[in-house]
């Protein structure tokens, strides 16, 4: 598989509107993935961030990066399917320029480490070939409790990745 549409993405990620931040996967490699997020003015956060000058919040760019990462983790480690991936840490995050309605985020993530319950990825988000954000993400994988839809409490976010 080299690409995924939104229906295929929804089969992997538990997120739904308005929090699904990935519209398409355009490339899946051995240890990397590229996803797209179309930024539109009708997204709910733009009504308050900021009136008259809509800017996509940086935390939502990081969330989009984490969701793209979740798809890669699911591809590389099929045993993680059905688990919930929680963001455990964000390192070296930098935001280079505002992302506004009409932009298309191209999110490029690369696996750094993958263990049983921990994944570490680095990546960039670009608009028109220019880097708008970059970060190193660490995520923990937690079992989903099947009977209630709840998730088990995440383990301590200090895993050993050496």
User: Is residue 148 in some structural domain?
Assistant: no
Positions in the chain whose pLDDT score sits under 50: 147, 157-162
The residue annotated as part of the active site, out of 49, 95, 101, 136, is 49
Tell whether 1 is covered by a domain. Answer: no
pLDDT of the residue at 37:
98
Number of domains in the chain: 1
Strand order through the sheet with 24-28:
24-28, 32-38, 104-114, 118-127, 130-143, 83-95
The pLDDT of residue 80 is 79
The CA-based diameter of the chain, rounded to the nearest angstrom, is: 46
Establish if 161 belongs to a structural domain.
Answer: no
The reply to whether 23 falls in a domain is: yes
79 domain residue, yes or no: yes
pLDDT in the model for residue 126: 98
3-state secondary structure string, the chain?
CCCECHHHHHHHCCCCCCCCCCCEEEEECCCEEEEEEECCCCCHHHHCCCCCCCCCCHHHHHHHHHHHHHHHHHHHCHHHCCEEEEEEEEEEEEECCCCCCCCEEEEEEEEEEECCCEEEEEEEEEECCEEEEEEEEEEEEEEECCCCCCECCCCCCCCCCC
Tell me the whole-structure pTM to 2 decimals: 0.88
pLDDT at 143: 85
Residue 155 forms part of a structural domain: no
Determine whether 15 is an active site residue.
no
pLDDT digit string, tens, across residues 32-76: 999 999 999 999 999 999 999 999 999 999 999 999 999 999 888
């Amino acid at each position: 598989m080299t690409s995924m549409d939104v229906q295929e993405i929804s089969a992997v990620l538990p997120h739904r509107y308005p929090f699904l931040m990935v519209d398409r996967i355009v490339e899946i490699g051995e240890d990397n993935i590229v996803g797209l997020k179309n930024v539109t003015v009708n997204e709910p956060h733009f009504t308050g961030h900021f009136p008259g000058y809509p800017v996509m919040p940086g935390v939502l760019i990081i969330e989009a990066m984490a969701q793209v990462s979740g798809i890669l983790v699911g591809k590389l480690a099929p045993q993680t399917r059905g688990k919930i991936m929680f963001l455990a840490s964000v390192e070296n995050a930098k935001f280079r320029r505002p992302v506004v309605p009409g932009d298309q985020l191209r999110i490029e993530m690369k696996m750094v480490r993958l263990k049983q319950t921990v994944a570490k990825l680095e990546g960039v988000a670009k608009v028109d070939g220019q880097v708008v954000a970059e970060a190193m993400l660490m995520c923990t994988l937690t079992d989903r409790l099947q009977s209630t839809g709840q998730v088990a409490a995440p383990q301590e976010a200090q895993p050993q990745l050496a």
